Amino acid sequence: MNYSISIRAYGVHAILIEWPNHVKEDILEDILSFKEYLIHTCIDAKDWEVIPAYNSLTLIFRKKEIVFNKVKEQLQQWYSQKTPYIKDSFLWKLPVCYDASFGIDLKETCDVLNLSMEELIKCHTEKEYTVYGIGFLPGFMYLGGLGKELEIARRASPRPKVEKGSVGLAGKQTGIYPQNSPGGWNIIGNCPVPMFNPKEEKPCFVSVGDKVQFYRIEKKVYDLIKIENEVGVFNIEKSKIHA
Amino acid sequence: MLKVLKPGFYTTVQDIGRIGYLNKGVPVSGNMDANAALIANQLLDNRDNAAVLEITMTGPTLVFEKETYISLTGAKLSATLNNKPITNNKVYKIYAGDILSYGKLLEGLRGYLAIKNGFLTEKLLGSRSYYYPITKERCLESNTTMVYEKCSDFSPKISPLRLKSLLGENVIKVYKGPEFYLLNDNQLASLFSKEFSVAKENDRMAYQIEENIEGLTYSMLTSATLPGTIQLTPSGKLIVLMKDGQTTGGYPRILQLTEEAICILAQKKYRDKLSFRLSVSN
């Protein structure tokens, strides 16, 4: 189906296409399908950068100034005639250690949410989360689909330093800090798999539209995975979503 | 090799930036005053993407260990070569053992030092621009060494250049951003008639503006941001994202600086005055 989209200039080197202001999988799918259609049949992909997030697609063209009205008309036409274009996306299973040494806010979070630790971990690991955007920091995923029972306000004051790999809860979101960073999320565990590696040709294995599910590991396994990652023998469990 | 005796306040390696990874959350980085850096490279007949040093406010002291040529552009930082004053926008021959140092900041904020064929630091994701933790370094430190090619024979073709300096400019030209349409008459009048100044919070990530305008309460979903984007917060703060700025944000993107305006702003420091002028896009 086609949504009512708005196309607006974003300076002279970028264009913003916006879908209705909702966090919905159908909308994200439409955005990603249009993105693939554009890249494969409409624009010269090496000259454009295309950034999907939640309900928007930002197109950047650095070579020269965009003639907005012309491109807008063209985009509207492409959108109305687009054919479904599905790119493989993946479900990534990521290990999380909920040990108290990592989950520095775990106890407090359980108290606020009125859950036992076991219940909280069960809720956090049973859902598949959708990657609605990547930003804030290199490799930081905006994950949607958190259960209502895990919604908790940000901490009153952010910490100056949250450890790399920390898994947190804030509002309707959960996520992993890909590097040491200041942050205000409630930290409940740590993921030993690095979300970003600048030495790799593909520095971040996750793309917008993928899904992520966490599974619980003990501290011993956490240490082992860390070592396996360092020597490059750890394989992240993944499966295709659109087979 | 070039060796750092003193690092200066905040000196980084920069090139035209890390292009193509915005969808993974990686800022573009690169020269804040791209215009000045380009001129520095052109003077040496370098490729546009050759890595230069971006020198902020207080310059480093550097010793060169082999022959080459250098040029300085951007902010006026009272540079000396072996204790003799040298000027911007000229090519200087360097011999082994020469020492470049900097003195008082006279005008602007960011100076550029280009070297024949560029600094050959590690390239990560297609760029040498420092951005921690993509590069291990945040900025130069004492005893950092950097590799460059020896060059003993180069005749500058376009030196000295007569250049239009952007340092004295304080009009920031902007295009409409995607949420420009949300602004009311009061906000528009403030933006384009008042004089503003640079807040203390200004760095390679963002420049905050000291004076607030009427805020904008609008709930939008996180979406892409670019260098030069001006966000308006609910409390009325204007935040101009710069080269190391976050790639996504949740505040309305009301204005977008022209490429030249980013260069002009990059030379502004705390309390410097500026005003915004709306440009019409095509």
CATH code, A145:
2.40.100.10
A-chain residues within 8 Å CB-CB of B256?
10-11, 14
Contact A13, A66 (CB under 8 A): yes
- Distance CA(B197)–CA(B208), nearest Å, equals 9
Residue A120 token pair: 């909280």
Rg of chain B's alpha carbons, rounded to an integer? 20
How far apart CA A30 and CA A159 sit, in angstroms, is 37
- Segments in chain B forming alpha helices (H): 34-43, 185-193, 259-266
Q: Is the peptide bond before B160 cis (omega within 30 degrees of 0)?
A: yes
CB contact under 8 A, B178 and A8: yes
Q: Please count the other Cβ atoms lying within 10 Å of the Cβ belonging to residue B65.
A: 15
Interchain proximity A9–B133, CB inside 8 Å: no
Query: Nearest 5°: CA angle at B201, between B265 and B103?
Result: 65
Q: What is the mean pLDDT of residues A232-241?
A: 92
Quick check: A204 and A138 in contact, CB under 8 A?
A: yes
CB spacing of A21 vs B220 below 8 angstroms: yes
B176 chain-A contacts, CB cut-off 8 A:
9
Model confidence at B29: pLDDT above 80: yes
Q: Is the CA virtual torsion A209, A23, B182, B225 positive or negative?
A: negative
Residue B276: which residues within 8 A CB-CB, separation 6 or more? B171, B172, B173, B174, B191, B192, B196, B255
Give the domain extent around A65. 6-81
How far is B100 from B193, CA to CA, in rounded Å? 43
Examine the fold and report which residue of A81, A109, A144 is the final residue of a domain before the chain moves on: A81
Provide the shortest C-alpha distance from residue A125 to chain B (in Å). Answer: 24
Domain boundaries, chain B: 2-146, 171-278
Q: Is the pLDDT of residue A228 over 60?
A: yes
Same domain, residue pair A62 and A173: no
Residues A98 and A175 occupy one common structural domain: yes
Within 12-31 of A, beta carbons closer than 8 Å to B belong to 12-14, 16, 18, 21, 23
pLDDT tens profile B120-133: 999 999 999 999 99
Of the three residues A81, A106, A129, the one that is the final residue of a domain is A81
Contacts of A9 in chain B (CB under 8 A): 175-176, 178, 281
Residues A126 and A222 in one domain: yes
Phi, psi angle pair for B110, to nearest 5°: -120, 120
Name the domain boundary from A81, A111, A139: A81
Q: How far is B281 from chain A (nearest CA, A)?
A: 6
Does residue A180 sit in the same domain as residue A124? yes
* Minimum-distance CB partner of B248 among A18, A53, A180: A53
Q: Which residue has the higher pLDDT, B26 or B219?
A: B26
Would you say B221 and A55 are in contact if contact means Cβ atoms under 8 Å apart? yes
Tell me whether residues A11 and B26 touch, CB distance under 8 A: no
| CATH architecture for the domain at B171-278 | Beta Barrel (2.40)
3-state SS record for B191-243: HHHCCEEEEEEECCCEEEECCCCCCCCCCCCCEECCCCEEEECCCCCEEEECC
Record: contact A140-B220, CB cut-off 8 A: no
Domain co-membership, A160 together with A107: yes
Burial of A127 (0-12, 13-18, 19+ CB in 10 A): middle
Q: Is the pLDDT of residue B158 over 80?
A: no
The single-letter code of the amino acid at A53 is A
Of the listed ranges A1-5, A38-42, A85-89, B213-217, the one predicted with least confidence: A85-89
Task: Please tell me the distance in Å from B36's CA to the nearest CA on chain A.
Answer: 19
CATH of the domain at A47: 3.30.1360.40
Summarised one tens digit per residue, pLDDT across range B64-113 is: 999 999 999 999 999 999 999 999 999 999 999 999 999 999 999 999 99
Identify the pLDDT of residue A243: 47
Q: Which residue of A has its CA nearest to B22?
A: A51
**B residues 87..116 contacting A (CB < 8 A):** none
Q: Which residue has better confidence, B138 or A88?
A: B138
Q: How many CB atoms lie within 10 A of CB A2?
A: 10
User: Could you give the CA distance from residue A133 to residue A31 in angstroms, rounded to a whole number?
Assistant: 12
CB-nearest partner of B25 from A50, A68, A139: A139
* Residues comprising chain A, all counted: 243
Q: A181 — contact with chain B (CB < 8 Å)?
A: no
Nearest-CA distance B254 → chain A (Å)? 9
Q: Could you tell me the CA-to-CA distances from A158 to A83, A153, A170, B5, B49 in Å, in that order?
A: 45, 12, 12, 37, 38
Contact B281 A204 (CB under 8 A): no
**3-class SS string, B144-171:** CEECCCCCCCCCCCCCCCCCCCCCCCCE
pLDDT of residue A213 exceeding 80, the answer is yes
| pLDDT tens digit sequence for A114-134 | 999 999 999 999 999 999 999
**What is the number of other CB atoms lying within 10 angstroms of the CB of residue A99?**
15
Question: Cβ atoms within 10 A of the Cβ of A63, count?
Answer: 9
pLDDT, tens digit (0-9, with 9 covering 90-100), for A147-159: 999 999 989 888 9
Is B220 within 8 Å of B252 (Cβ atoms)?
A: yes
- B282 pLDDT higher than 50: yes
Q: Is any Cβ of chain B less than 8 angstroms from the Cβ of A133?
A: yes
Are A232 and A112 members of one domain? yes
Q: Which residues of chain A does B260 touch, with a Cβ-Cβ cutoff of 8 Å? A: none
Q: What percent of chain B has pLDDT over 90?
A: 93
Please name the residue of chain A whose CA is at the shortest distance from the CA of residue B18.
A198
Among B124, B223, B253, select the one facing A54 at the smallest CB separation.
B223
Q: Measuring CA to CA, which residue among A237, A236, A214 is closest to residue A95?
A: A214
Same domain, yes or no: A34 and A120 = no
* B28 touches A: beta carbon within 8 Å: no
ipTM higher than threshold 0.90: yes
In this prediction, residue B148 has a pLDDT band, given cuts at 50, 70 and 90, of: very high
Residues 6+ apart with CB under 8 A from B59: B8, B11, B77, B79, B101, B102, B103, B111
B161 has pLDDT over 70: no
Of A193-197, B168-172, B215-219, B267-271, give the lowest mean pLDDT range: B215-219
Question: Would you say B55 and B75 are in contact if contact means Cβ atoms under 8 Å apart?
Answer: yes
Residue A9 is predicted with a pLDDT of 96
**Each residue of B226-271: pLDDT tens digit?**
999 999 999 999 999 999 999 999 999 999 999 999 999 999 999 9
pLDDT greater than 80 at residue A212: yes
Q: Is residue A217 part of a domain?
A: yes
Contact A191/B at CB under 8 A: no
Q: How many CB pairs under 8 A join A and B?
A: 119
* Alpha-carbon distance A113 to nearest alpha carbon in chain B (angstroms): 25
A33 part of contact set with chain B, CB < 8 Å: no
Other beta carbons less than 10 A from residue A148's beta carbon? 7
Let me know whether A172 and A214 are in one domain: yes
Mean pLDDT along residues A28-49 = 93
Work out how many domains chain A is built from and give that number: 2
Q: Is the CB of B221 inside 8 Å of chain A's CB atoms?
A: yes
Q: Do A52 and B221 touch (CB under 8 A)?
A: no
Q: Which residue of A has its CA nearest to B178?
A: A10
Which of B125, B181, B222 comes nearest A198 by C-beta? B125
In a domain, A1, yes or no: no
